[in-house]
Amino acid sequence: MGIKLTNSFSRWWKNYNLSVRSIENMFIIIFAVFIPVLYTILFGGYFFDNIAKLNAKANPDICNRVLYRDALINPHKYKECRLLAQSVDISDFLYNETNYLSKLDSLETKEEKQAFIAKLQERATSYSGVVLINKKTGEYYSNRVWFYEKPYNLSTPKEVLESLSKNDNVVFKEINSSDNYEEIYFSRGELYDSEINSIRIAFIATMTTTLLMLLLIIKKLVMIKNMGIRAYK
């Protein structure tokens, strides 16, 4: 198999036929157009509204940009940034509804707290979950019903999420919102795993295409050297 490939490559490398050269030139032009675009996409990304709306200085690690290269060099960071990006809507609702969390302390009766939880759960999505934890009392509010059901209500929300992260591919990110409250956003990791695999495949394809273009260019240079520029034309 290796000998056949070597012989095939050798025949192609020595083939200076005009029709072959024309096809190679066409591929070089196509690669030259699309490869920069692919690299721009792979090493670019997109910005989103910063979720650390309060106490931003205490959250220097909270990103507001998804970088596709993180999928290659730092998958965990990519997952966290994607989680925060898709949590912007629920975060905006949360802060608008509570006047930047200030109204939470005014929820005194069980009925008031249940009404807020019900309103929060109306915003439940299949993607992002959020839980707000009172640092002093341990009381929490979440848009996920199962936090209030057994066996999850037997542990603290943070303990539950840490367990789910280890055993059930759940991604979560803590935000130190204020002295009184902590926000934790979370989501299942399967979507991000799929994206990371796709980005890796795209990167491999881009690198392979780049090497092919370089090989074609090198062949052109060797061809011109052997034939002379006039004969090549």
The backbone torsions φ and ψ at residue 212, rounded to the nearest 5 degrees and listed phi first, read -65, -45
- Cβ-based neighbour number of residue 76 at 10 Å: 11
- Averaged pLDDT, 213-232: 87
What's the whole-model pTM score?
0.85
pLDDT of residue 233: 64
Q: Can you say whether the dihedral through the CA atoms of 40, 171, 86, 60 is positive or negative?
A: negative
Residue 159: CA atoms inside 13 Å, Cβ hemisphere, count? 7
Per-residue confidence at 55, pLDDT binned at 50, 70, 90?
confident
pLDDT of residue 139: 94
Give whole-number Cα distances, 16 to 3, 139, 228, in Å.
22, 76, 12
Give the helix/strand (H/E) hosting 151: none
Q: What does pLDDT average to over the chain? A: 90
Give the helix ranges, DSSP H, for 43-136: 70-73, 75-86, 88-98, 110-121
Strand pairing report for 65-67 and 45-47: antiparallel
Q: Which of 108, 172, 166 lies closest to 134, judged by CA?
A: 108
Query: Could you tell me the two tokens for 13?
Result: 């490398």
Query: Could you tell me the two tokens for 226?
Result: 């052997």
Per-residue confidence at 26, pLDDT binned at 50, 70, 90?
very high
Are 47 and 64 in contact, with CB atoms under 8 Å apart? yes
pLDDT of residue 137: 92
Please say if the pLDDT value at position 79 is more than 80.
yes
pLDDT of residue 176: 87
Are 140 and 183 in contact, with CB atoms under 8 Å apart? no
- Averaged pLDDT, 127-145: 93
Most confident of 8-12, 15-19, 52-56, 139-143: 139-143
- Averaged pLDDT, 108-131: 88
Please say if the pLDDT value at position 106 is more than 80.
yes
Where do we find the tokens 């542990």?
155
Please say if the pLDDT value at position 126 is more than 70.
no
Q: How far is 12 from 188, CA to CA, in rounded Å?
A: 49
